[in-house]
Amino acid sequence: MVAEWLNGTVFIEYLWPEAEKWLLVAMLGLEMTMGVVGNCLVLLVKITCRGQFGCRYWLPFISLTLSDLAFNEPLCCEGCSLLIISGSLLAMLTGGQRSPWCEVVSLLKFAFITSSIGSIAILCVQRLIGRASTGGALFAVMVAACSASWVTGVVFGSVPVTYAWIRYDSAEMLCAVFWESSYSDMLVYILCAFSVCIFLPFLLIIACSLLSAAGCGSSCNSDDEADLSAVTPLLVASYMFCYTPFAVSELILLGRLDLSPAPDWLRTLSSVMSYLDCGLNPLIYCSHQDFREAGLALLWTSRKPQSEPVLTAIVKREL
């Protein structure tokens, strides 16, 4: 433990023992590999093999995959150039993160968390109403909803950066929000951010899941088992399981008037579990038989079929 003074407040920085440090480095490396390789393959299969499996609700699936990919990769294909897991891995090896990378990592992490749960909520709504991601008014609404989940994450993630509430947290293995002013500021921010970015999508997910389970909506009359949307319950369960430590740590912070954060082990667990979700999603997609077969065909067979033999000449031999 190392005591650090910042703006008149004492912070205790946890120093990892060597064995625990390298164990976490190995875990982060494994999660980053699973996320990068898995989500790249998923994105490739979704784009190149879309005719080999049913995927009526492709828009939220693409948004979720890009969010997971950006969470893991050092370079994201849609312009997001900073990655979270690789940043945590580098911070563990170098002993911290420095400005401005520190602030950007904190902002993007909240944006990616928000876009992930927003994409899952949109997928649940589309699956309930049974309308595909095609052109028309519904398509425009879904594009606006997916964009809004990214924008709200960036807006709320930029507030702590603007007010300089960001510093490196060795337990969380990346830069995070630390409150140094007043309990009321923290309370207002967390309640607003979680209500708009987390609780509202969460309520949509629960409501749509319950209605679908009860047989309501048009999805119950369609052949959802043949569509990739059949994995939606697994995506929801994985997200809830992996982000429970993060939600619990925030609730603990809300209950402490002295603004002290959650225990170190819980903050570490929240980071490890949230990173794990990005690597589990590709495995969940592969649980769908048609999607798995399309991926295996892409990996193990030639994309160009061999041409049939063509007769070019006839040679007659005298016996």
Give domain status of residue 163, yes or no. Answer: yes
CB neighbour list of residue 305: distance below 8 Å, 6 or more residues apart: none
Q: Over the stretch 32-87, which tens digit does the pLDDT of each residue have?
A: 888 778 878 877 887 787 677 777 766 777 777 666 655 554 333 333 334 678 87
- For residue 97, CA distances in Å to 106, 110, 111, 226, 267 come to 11, 17, 19, 46, 17
Higher pLDDT, 55 or 143: 143
Looking at residue 3, what is its pLDDT? 40
Q: What is the pLDDT of residues 91-120, one digit of tens each?
A: 888 877 787 878 888 888 888 888 888 888
Instruction: Give the Cα separation of 291 and 226 in Å (integer).
Output: 10
The stretch 174-186 carries a mean pLDDT of: 77
Looking at the structure of the chain, the number of domains it has is 1
In a domain, 198, yes or no: yes
Considering the domain boundaries, does residue 152 fall inside one?
yes
User: What CATH number does residue 47 fall under?
Assistant: 1.20.1070.10
Kindly tell me if the per-residue pLDDT of 1 is higher than 50.
no
Please give the pLDDT value at position 121: 87
318 pLDDT higher than 70: no
Lowest mean pLDDT among 180-194, 204-218, 219-233: 219-233
For residue 10, being part of any structural domain is answered with no
pLDDT score, position 89: 82
How would you classify residue 185: left for phi > 0, otherwise alpha for psi between -120 and 50, otherwise beta? alpha
CA dist 156 and 152 (Å) reads 6
Q: Does residue 1 sit within a domain?
A: no
- At 154 the pLDDT is 87
State the pLDDT at residue 78. 35
Report the chain's mean pLDDT, rounded to a whole number.
76
Q: Which residues contact 30 (CB under 8 A, 6 or more apart)?
A: none
Note if the bond before 74 is cis, omega within 30 degrees. no
Q: 314 lies in a domain? A: no
Q: By the 8 A CB rule, do 269 and 245 touch?
A: yes
Look at residue 307 and tell me if it is in a domain: no
> What tens digit of pLDDT does each residue of 281-299 get?
888 888 888 888 888 887 7
Q: What percent of the chain has pLDDT over 70?
A: 76
Give the range of the structural domain holding residue 41, as residue numbers without chain letter: 17-300
Least confident of 49-63, 148-162, 164-178, 180-194: 49-63
Q: Is residue 118 part of a domain?
A: yes
